[in-house]
Chains A and B, each alone.
Chain A
Amino acid sequence: MTDENFNKQYDLAPHSRGRRTKSIIFYLLLLTAIGVSFTGLLSLIIEISREGLPWLSWHFLTEFPSRFTEKAGMKSAIMGTVWVISFTALIIIPVGIGAAFYLEEYAKKNLLSKIIEINISNLAGVPSIVYGLLGLSVFVYYMGLGRSVLAGALTLSLLVLPIVIVVSREAIRTVPESHKQAAYALGANRFQVVYKIILPQAIPGIMTGTILALSRAIGEAAPMIAISALVYLTFVPTNPLDRFSVMPIQIFNWISRPQDEFRGLAAAGIIVLLITLIAMNALAIYIRNRTQTRSEE
């Protein structure tokens, strides 16, 4: 290196002041946006907690709803949610995974599959009350299932299936082509490749998607009210054809009462629902992170 070269000096400072100011402004805008949404959420949670926490007790979880606020609980709503969501899971897991595998591995890539594909993505944007009304006419009346757990689960399944299918397809697509080829080269048929190679690698992604879909289903009020009506049930379903209530219905029911104390009960119900949702989302994130670190090893 010559001295001349060594003594060269380049201007390494940022080129224009204007660019820097712009980027600071942009940063501040983002910060404000986050601040506003976070404050909104936080004040909501504080308000709900203030109203609901005094009502929250073991008794609240294990008692049936009642005209007397101090006696009322959400047992039937919690158990109804457990019933409906269990049946929803039983429906969406096989149907969702089957549809995803069909579209990814079996369907010929033609116009028809393209149309199906676009429709599945669009279905996710249909307002949920539409599914409620569809379920009401098809499952409740036409198929004669009545306002039952099964009718509710079928309706919720229609509502969240697009989520499961889209997420499952993404999980299936992450399995490297080279693994499938290796299996085919060993004499595997298509079913064996799907079952032994793709499924094991795609399952964490599919599970994450399914949990997120179910957590969406748990929070749905409108279609459930359409199916079950705004009921006030003092029993727990014992079979899939029983009537049911779910947490959002119960909360809605309490909110619509004229008496002020029921607002507290509604707030307590919201807290229970929120905790359930946060727990499910945390589980989904946990599964995703655990498999991510494992595949990076």
Chain B
Amino acid sequence: MPNNEAVLSVRDLSVYYGEFRAIKNISLSFQANKVTALIGPSGCGKSTLLRCLNRMNDLIPQAKVEGEVVYSQQDIYDPLVDPAQVRLHIGMVFQKPNPFPKSIFDNVAFGLKINGLTENIEDSVEKSLRSAALWDEVKDRLDESAMTLSGGQQQRLCIARTLAVEPEIILMDEPASALDPIGTLAIESLMRDLTERYTIVVVTHNMQQAARVSDETAFLMMDEDRAGYLVESGKTDNIFQNPQDERTEAYITGRFG
């Protein structure tokens, strides 16, 4: 999908864990203010691809990345690029809610403090909690430990924590898979609201969820050598109603995976 609105582009990306190639030759663009869903069978490299987008794969010692990930006209894998700076612009929300064992306030303030953004910190925290649709539930207990929140609330806190540093892109790896249906619904509607100001890339194994929340969908599959590759990508409506590739159709209609 060549498009001049792409904020992030992956070019010919392959990732190795030691000798094993987890994904191969993926090229894909992500559109501004849209939700792009990454779908595909378990183990096909969705999380691997997602982690490449803000260099979280750097934290896995044996991971090696080939190809380019272009953001703001630079390859984020250029040796001159500081991964910490990349992550400030491209944030990440994880599969299992992982708040710090600190107060609710300190969780949201963490990113601000370490990046020296301490001016009007109370306002920033409030704004982020409002954006994450959590403010009303926690405004009277900001000093309480984040561990006292429910799973769904913890995940929205993690989203608020990510929003606080004002990234442009938010990566989410199955953000609702550890939550109950109510928590899932809250996260899904939040994702829709967030597209007003953010670009979102979300990994999901749930087809209905991909159909509900995403504008664009990319479908990945595994080859015989277990390397993941991109089958097709495009508007979610097209992928779901009129897939070009029969493997996509088979997957979406639940015939495998």
Contact = CB atoms under 8 A, between A and B. Distances in A.
Interface of A: 109, 176, 178-189, 192, 196-197, 201, 295, 297
A188 B94 contact: no
Interface string B218-256: 000000000000000000000000000000000000000
Closest 6 CB pairs of A and B: A186-B111, A187-B88, A178-B98, A185-B92, A182-B98, A187-B87
A297 B145 contact: yes
Nearest to A192: B114
Contacts of A186: 87-88, 91, 110-111, 114-115, 161-162, 165
Residue from B54, B100, B115, B162 with most neighbouring chain A CB atoms (10 Å): B100
B98 A179 contact: yes
A185 B100 contact: no
Given A179-B100, A183-B100, A192-B114, 13 more contacts: A179-B101, A181-B56, A182-B94, A184-B56, A185-B91, A185-B162, A186-B87, A186-B91, A186-B115, A186-B162, A187-B87, A187-B111, A188-B111
Residue from A181, A186, A188, A201 with most neighbouring chain B CB atoms (10 Å): A186
Nearest to B61: A109
Contacts of B56: 181, 184-185
A199 to B, nearest CB: 13
A179 B98 CA distance: 6
A188 B84 contact: yes
Contact of A181 (B94, B110, B114): B94
A188 B56 CA distance: 12
Interface string B126-151: 00000000000000000001010000
A109 B60 CA distance: 12
A186 B88 CA distance: 6
Contacts of A178: 94, 96, 98
Nearest to A295: B101
Interface in B19-38: none
A187 B110 CA distance: 10
Contact of A183 (B88, B96, B110): B110
B94 A187 contact: no
A184 B59 contact: yes
B101 A187 contact: no
30 contacts: A178-B94, A178-B96, A179-B98, A179-B101, A180-B59, A181-B59, A181-B94, A181-B98, A182-B94, A182-B98, A183-B100, A184-B56, A184-B59, A184-B84, A185-B87, A185-B91, A185-B92, A185-B94, A185-B162, A186-B87, A186-B114, A186-B115, A186-B161, A186-B165, A187-B88, A188-B111, A189-B84, A196-B110, A295-B101, A297-B145
Contacts of A182: 94, 98-100, 158, 161
Nearest to B99: A182
Residue from A180, A181, A201, A295 with most neighbouring chain B CB atoms (10 Å): A181
A88 B156 CA distance: 47
Nearest to B112: A186
Interface of B: 54, 56, 59, 61, 84-85, 87-88, 91-92, 94, 96, 98-101, 110-111, 114-115, 145, 147, 158, 161-162, 165
A69 to B, nearest CB: 56
B151 to A, nearest CB: 14
B110 to A, nearest CB: 6
Nearest to B111: A186
A178 B101 CA distance: 11
A185 B54 contact: yes
A214 B111 CA distance: 37
Contacts of B145: 297
B62 to A, nearest CB: 10
A176 B98 contact: yes
Contact of A187 (B84, B96, B100, B158): B84
A187 B87 CA distance: 5
Contact of A188 (B96, B114, B158): B114
A186 B165 CA distance: 7
Nearest to A180: B59
A20 to B, nearest CB: 45
Residue from B59, B145, B147, B165 with most neighbouring chain A CB atoms (10 Å): B59
B147 A297 contact: yes
A172 to B, nearest CB: 15
A185 B165 CA distance: 11
Nearest to B88: A187
Contacts of B158: 182
A201 to B, nearest CB: 7
Contact of B85 (A187, A197, A201): A187
A297 B87 CA distance: 32
Contact of B114 (A180, A196, A295): A196
A201 B94 contact: no
A75 to B, nearest CB: 45
